[in-house]
């Protein structure tokens, strides 16, 4: 909006009343109202003597803490000084229309949004929604910065209809996390009567020659039967199961956790559960597996594969902070 004169501002009006003594010219300090006289701009004060507004030639106001009359007042004259504290409102965000802040905003109190309101960014305005019951939902999976102890972060998901192996390499297996977890769903070995395997590497896949003690030990449990334990010689793989079916209509699910993955003190441990069908059998089977990886070097690649042929499914890697 166009206007004439000084740009409009908002202000706070403060009144200071003084009762003069004989020939008093300087008025300063605490007023009758108990407020100490201060002002920031001489253009924003009015001075009254016995109800008459004085002109700028009738007083001096330059110190910011006092007003000096050109002529001394009489006994019991009322001198009223009205101070207007001004602040600019040219750079504001409208309550009704909203707007943007170009720099950081600091608040000493809490931040509240309306029930059902959103908190987001320019490209994702509803990144975080808060219901009237206080339930928080995210439009994307939350990613936590390092140091957020105990948090779990999804790092990568691979879906394949047939691959010789699926690798999670050093771009994902880093010191950000100490424990890593792989979840497999709709998974299968494409070749029947084969073994699903996990291999570990300390040189980003150049070699898979780590000693995996107990890697072929697992317990197989199935409906209405007792568990059967299997144990083979130590090797370089952790077996998730054995003699699994490649039935494309009965897909597998599994959960693998590798502990102390990036540790350089102490060995590593692998724990797994694999649910699928045994080849030639219609019952569902659960394989429990555990092994010890005899290295104090940091693991930087995890590989999923079959003992023969390809693997298929969806495989997701998670990092877990210590």
Domains, the chain, ordered by start: 9-88 (2.40.10), 152-320 (2.60.120)
Cα–Cα distance list, 147 to 167, 179, 199 (Å): 26, 14, 28
pLDDT at position 279 over 80: no
> Could you give the CA distance from residue 47 to residue 35 in angstroms, rounded to a whole number?
16
Give me the pLDDT at residue 224, please.
58
109 or 187: which leads in pLDDT:
187
Separation between Cα atoms, residue 21 and residue 169, nearest integer Å: 88
pLDDT at position 9, please? 47
| Phi, psi angles (nearest 5°) of residue 191 | -95, 130
Please say whether the beta carbons of 204 and 169 come within 8 A. Answer: yes
On whether the CB atoms of residues 183 and 237 are closer than 8 A, the answer is no
Model confidence at 147, pLDDT cuts 50, 70, 90, reads very low
Lowest average pLDDT, out of 2-11, 144-153, 296-305, goes to 2-11
Which range among 19-23, 106-110, 111-115, 216-220 has the greatest average pLDDT?
19-23
Is the pLDDT confidence value at 215 over 80? Answer: no
pLDDT computed for residue 1 by the predictor: 46
Q: How far is 293 from 211, CA to CA, in rounded Å?
A: 6
Residue 208, H or E segment: none
Instruction: Give mean pLDDT, residues 14-26.
Output: 95
pTM value?
A: 0.56
As a whole-number percent, the residues of the chain with pLDDT over 90 amount to 50
- Give the angle subtended at the CA of 83 by the CAs of 78 and 88, to the nearest 5°: 170
- Mean pLDDT, residues 192-199: 91
In this prediction, residue 150 has a pLDDT band, given cuts at 50, 70 and 90, of: low
The more confident residue out of 56 and 232 is 56
Coil, strand or helix at 56 = helix
What pLDDT band is residue 90 in, cutting at 50, 70 and 90? low
106-115, 186-195, 235-244, range with the lowest pLDDT: 106-115
The set of residues, in sequence order, having a beta carbon less than 8 Å from that of 205 and lying 6+ positions away, is 167, 169, 301, 303
pLDDT digits (tens, 9 = 90+) for 242-276: 888 888 877 889 999 999 999 999 899 999 999 88
């Amino acid at each position: 909006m166009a206007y004439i004169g000084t740009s409009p501002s908002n202000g706070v009006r403060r009144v200071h009343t003084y009762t003069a003594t004989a020939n008093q010219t300087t008025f300063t300090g605490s007023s009758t109202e108990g407020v100490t006289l201060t002002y920031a701009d001489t253009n924003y004060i009015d001075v009254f003597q016995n109800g008459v507004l004085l002109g700028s030639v009738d007083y001096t106001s330059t110190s910011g803490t006092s007003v000096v009359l050109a002529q001394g007042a009489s006994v019991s004259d009322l001198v009223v000084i009205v101070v207007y504290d001004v602040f600019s409102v040219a750079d504001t965000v409208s309550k009704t229309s909203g707007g943007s802040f170009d720099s950081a905003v600091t608040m000493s109190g809490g931040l509240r949004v309306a029930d059902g309101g959103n908190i987001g960014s320019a490209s994702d305005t509803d990144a975080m929604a808060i219901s009237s019951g206080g339930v928080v939902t995210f439009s994307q999976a939350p990613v936590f910065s390092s140091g957020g102890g105990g948090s779990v972060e999804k790092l990568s998901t691979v879906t394949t209809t047939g691959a010789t192996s699926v690798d999670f390499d050093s771009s994902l297996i880093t010191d950000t996390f100490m424990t890593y977890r792989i979840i497999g769903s709709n998974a299968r070995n494409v070749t029947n009567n084969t073994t699903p395997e996990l291999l570990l590497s300390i040189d980003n896949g150049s070699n898979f020659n780590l000693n995996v003690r107990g890697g072929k030990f697992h317990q197989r449990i199935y409906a209405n039967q007792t568990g059967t334990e299997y144990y083979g010689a130590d090797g370089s793989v952790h077996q998730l199961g054995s003699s699994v079916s490649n039935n494309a209509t009965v897909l597998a699910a599994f959960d693998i956790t590798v502990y102390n993955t990036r540790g350089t003190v102490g060995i590593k441990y692998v724990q797994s559960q694999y649910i699928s069908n045994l080849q030639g059998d219609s019952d569902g089977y659960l394989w429990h597996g555990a092994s010890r990886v005899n290295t104090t070097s940091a693991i930087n690649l995890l590989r999923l594969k079959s003992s023969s042929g390809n693997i298929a499914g969806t495989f997701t890697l998670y990092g877990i902070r210590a």
